[in-house]
Structure 1
Amino acid sequence: MKFTIDKHEKYVLFKLDETKLNSLVSPQLKSELILINTEGKRNIILDLSSVKYSDSSGLSSLLVGHRLCKNSSGSFVITGMSENLERLITISQLENVLNITPTVEEAIDLIFMEEVERDLKREAE
């Protein structure tokens, strides 16, 4: 599996450099997401701009990333999705479960906004 990881203070940008997110790639992606999360990174942006095709195992890896970040009070944002992947997510009724943005910049903005909201909520408690 080809990918790049760009670590920042508040988030990790994970760019998958594969055209297919299928049963061959999905287990490796899950492992990498788990590894990032166990390193204490709770906000992950997954850039899928290279991915043209995904199957149900690919969707499963997206849900694993979502659950990992949610369980560690973080955010999992998917960006750069192809029309095929968007259609698959809509058919699976996951568009209201997953955080999806068109661009990496919007994903970064969303992460920072949610971090501010979490900080405000902690202060109010």
Structure 2
Amino acid sequence: MEFQVTKKADHSVIKVLSSKLDTNNAPDLKSELVVLGNENVKNIILDVSECQYIDSSGLSSILVANRLCEDAIGTFILCGLQPDVEHLIRLSMLHTVLLITKSVDEAEALLVKKGEL
């Protein structure tokens, strides 16, 4: 499996363990996201710190995660962007749509703050 899923009390963290999120593994990520959605997980943190490359299939899976969290009235946070991946996210204007943090710790702190509101 190219993903590590850590379930916590109020969110799940998915870490992509591959250097690429592309047509080879993006469908598996989408499947994992649907499973989490069916388990009523509302808040998802996607850690792509190991990814050096993401293609359109990978971007699509990120958008699926964002939509699932929005539909569940939750929060999706993308974290750990490497320079090439960050460039692609900015080029595709997804940085205007997605919550992005530097690390999982920062993302978890953001969820805590949101929960206190």
Alignment of 1:1-125 (within 5 A): 1-117=1-117
CA offset at residue 34 of structure 1?
Answer: 1.0
CA contact (8 A) 1:3 1:14 kept: yes
5+ residue gaps, structure 2, are none
CA offset at residue 110 of structure 1?
Answer: 1.2
1:121 matched residue in structure 2: none
Moved over 3 A (4+): none
The structure number with the bigger radius of gyration is 1
Once residues 90 and 80 of structure 2 are traced to their aligned partners in structure 1, the CA distance between those partners, rounded to angstroms, is 15
**TM-score using structure 2 length:** 0.96
5+ residue gaps, structure 1, are 118-125
The sequence identity of aligned pairs, in percent, is: 41
CA offset at residue 21 of structure 1?
Answer: 0.5
The letter of the residue matching 1:20 is K
The letter of the residue matching 1:74 is G
1:38-66 residue CA offsets vs partner (Å, 9 max, x unmatched): 10110011111111101111111100000
The total of aligned residue pairs comes to 117
CA contact (8 A) 2:4 2:17 kept: yes
CA contact (8 A) 1:75 1:114 kept: no
Once residues 38 and 63 of structure 1 are traced to their aligned partners in structure 2, the CA distance between those partners, rounded to angstroms, is 17
Once residues 85 and 62 of structure 2 are traced to their aligned partners in structure 1, the CA distance between those partners, rounded to angstroms, is 11
Once residues 7 and 90 of structure 1 are traced to their aligned partners in structure 2, the CA distance between those partners, rounded to angstroms, is 29
- Supply the RMSD in Å over aligned alpha carbons: 0.9
1:1-46 residue CA offsets vs partner (Å, 9 max, x unmatched): 4111111111101111011111111111011011111101100111
